[in-house]
Amino acid sequence: MNLAELNKIARAMTAPGKGLLAADESGGTIKKRFDAIGVESTEDNRRDYREMLFRSREAMSSYISGVILYDETIWQNAKDGTPLVRLIEEAGAIPGIKVDEGTQALPNCPGELVTAGLDKLAERLAKYYARGARFAKWRAVIDIGAGIPSMTAISVNAHALARYAALCQAAQIVPIVEPEVLMDGDHDIDRCVEVTQRVLNKTFQELRVQRVALEGMILKPNMAVSGKKSKTQAGVAEVAEKTVRMLKNCVPASVPGIAFLSGGQSDEDATAHLDAVNRIGGLPWPLTFSYGRALQAAPQKAWSGKANNVPAGQQAFTHRAHMNSLASKGEWTTDQEQKAL
H or E segment to which residue 139 belongs? strand 135-142
Is-contact 278 327, C-beta < 8 A?
yes
Whole-number Cα distances in Å, 326 to 129, 133, 263, 331: 31, 27, 20, 5
Task: Please pick, among 98, 137, 202, 220, the residue that the annotation labels catalytic.
Answer: 220
Is-contact 115 138, C-beta < 8 A?
yes
Q: Is 248 one of the annotated active-site residues of the chain?
A: no
Is-contact 121 103, C-beta < 8 A?
no
Q: Is 137 one of the annotated active-site residues of the chain?
A: no
> How would DSSP label each residue in 8-42?
HHHHHHT-TT-EEEEE---HHHHHHHHHHTT----
Alpha-helix runs per DSSP H in 171-188 = none
Q: What is the largest CA-CA distance in the chain?
A: 53
Task: Please pick, among 25, 51, 112, 178, the residue that the annotation labels catalytic.
Answer: 178
The Cβ of residue 230 has, within 10 Å, a number of other Cβ atoms equal to 17
Contacts of 253 (CB under 8 A, 6+ apart): 284, 285
Distance of CA 280 to the CA centre of its chain: 22
Whole-number Cα distances in Å, 116 to 21, 102, 203, 239: 23, 6, 17, 31
> How far is it, in rounded angstroms, from Cα 143 to Cα 2?
36
317 torsion bin: left (phi>0), alpha (psi -120 to 50), beta (else): alpha
Contacts of 145 (CB under 8 A, 6+ apart): 111, 185
81 torsion bin: left (phi>0), alpha (psi -120 to 50), beta (else): left
The amino acid present at 214, given as its one-letter code, is L
> How far is it, in rounded angstroms, from Cα 334 to Cα 171?
43
Would you please indicate which residues are annotated as catalytic (active-site) residues? 178, 220
